[in-house]
Amino acid sequence: PEPSTFLSLLTGSFATPAAENPTVAMVEAAYRHHGIDARYINCDVSAEKLADAVRGALAMGWAGFNCSLPHKVAVVPLLDELAPSAAIIGAVNCVVIRNGRLIGENTDGQGFLASLQTVADPKGRKVVLFGAGGAARAIAVETALAGAAAITIVNRDTARGMELAALVNARTSAAATFVPWEGVFTIPEETAVVVNATSIGLFPHVDARLDLDLESLAPGMVVADVIPNPPRTRLIRDAEARGCTVLDGLGMLVNQGIAGIRLWTGVTVDGEPMRRVLKGIFDA
Ligand code: NDP
């Protein structure tokens, strides 16, 4: 056997809380499926200890790690380099360690885009995006960089919504507009893609509905939800009933995992075993 047999590639996650994060189960399912000699260690890391954890990963020769709440922005000054989309988004959820250098990526947006591209190309199309938080920011930037013509950002908080629209206009070629979410929102007819990037629908509020006119959802539209738990949100069910093409939050989560694994190991893994594990966990 190779001398490397007893030294696995190390990857993992730094977040707090961490105990309910299913990423380890998803990623290790992919490692097993492909026979990749790698581990994914789920670590509960407090804000004060993030810098120590990053130095530890470097010292132990990790290939990289995910960062989740509350570290996605705080990790940025600890890194040597940012990938272009992560630099625009201003947040990192995936760090790659290459030749001792820490490189920040944002695979949330990449995961969303990969999931979207299984059914539609956003190039030249019009997008309606509900939300202006971390997930929405990643989705708006990545979709704009992929050539979306226009993005309408619909958000409850005006300052956050305006800031995201300004960011997209300043740093990408897409035309972003902000619409304050006051009462029922009607999706414009020419919309190709509708995205829920709010936390509406997340367990345990599984029957929560977005304040939107369901009649304005047309059969040709793609309707995507970021909520992974449960995957069949009210929005997904409503959009399906209207004849739309739907994408659930598991698609984004799995593709975000595929992107991270590719960055750490160079292998493009099959998403099916990952999706199966998550479905089992979320009992979908
Ligand atoms: P943030 O807290 O950064 O943003 C939350 C967003 O939801 C804001 O735009 C907020 O609006 C909006 N919102 C929340 N509640 C309501 C409400 N009742 N009515 C209207 N708007 C509301 O969270 P994140 O962006 O980090 O995460 C959002 C969701 O995305 C989470 O549920 C998370 O699970 C999911 N996610 C999924 C991923 C995946 O891979 N599938 C990856 C990352 C996140 P306002 O600004 O007005 O407060």
CATH topology of domain 110-247: Rossmann fold (3.40.50)
For the CA of 134, the closest atom of ligand 1 is 25
The per-residue pLDDT for 2 is 60
C-beta neighbour count of 29 within 10 angstroms: 22
- Range(s) of the chain covered by CATH 3.40.50.720: 110-247
What is the pLDDT, as a whole number, of residue 283?
77
pLDDT band at 281 (very low <50, low <70, confident <90, very high): very high
Task: Tell me what pLDDT residue 5 has.
Answer: 79
pLDDT at site 1: 52
Ligand 1 site residues (CB inside 6 A) read: 108, 111, 131-136, 155-157, 160, 198-200, 202, 226-228, 249, 252-253, 256
- Determine the Cα–Cα distance for residues 200 and 190; give it in Å rounded to an integer: 24
In the chain, ranges of CATH 3.40.50.10860 domains: 3-105+253-282
**Model confidence pLDDT, tens digit, residues 209-236:** 999 999 999 999 999 999 999 999 999 9
Q: What is the pLDDT of residues 112-162, one digit of tens each?
A: 999 999 999 999 999 999 999 999 999 999 999 999 999 999 999 999 999
Query: Among the atoms of ligand 1, which is closest to the Cα of residue 208?
Result: 18
Count of residues in the chain: 284
Task: Quick: pLDDT tens for 246-279.
Answer: 999 999 999 999 999 999 999 999 999 999 999 9
Provide mean pLDDT across the span 23-47.
98
Which CATH number is associated with domain 3-105+253-282?
A: 3.40.50.10860
What is the predicted pLDDT for the residue at 249? 96
Cα separation, 81 vs 107, whole angstroms: 15
Write the pLDDT tens digit of every residue in 161-197. 999 999 999 999 999 999 999 999 999 999 999 999 9
Query: In a mutational test of the pocket of ligand 1, which residue from 179, 198, 202, 248 has the highest number of ligand atoms less than 8 Å from its CB?
Result: 198
Is residue 47 very low, low, confident or very high in pLDDT (cuts 50, 70, 90)? very high
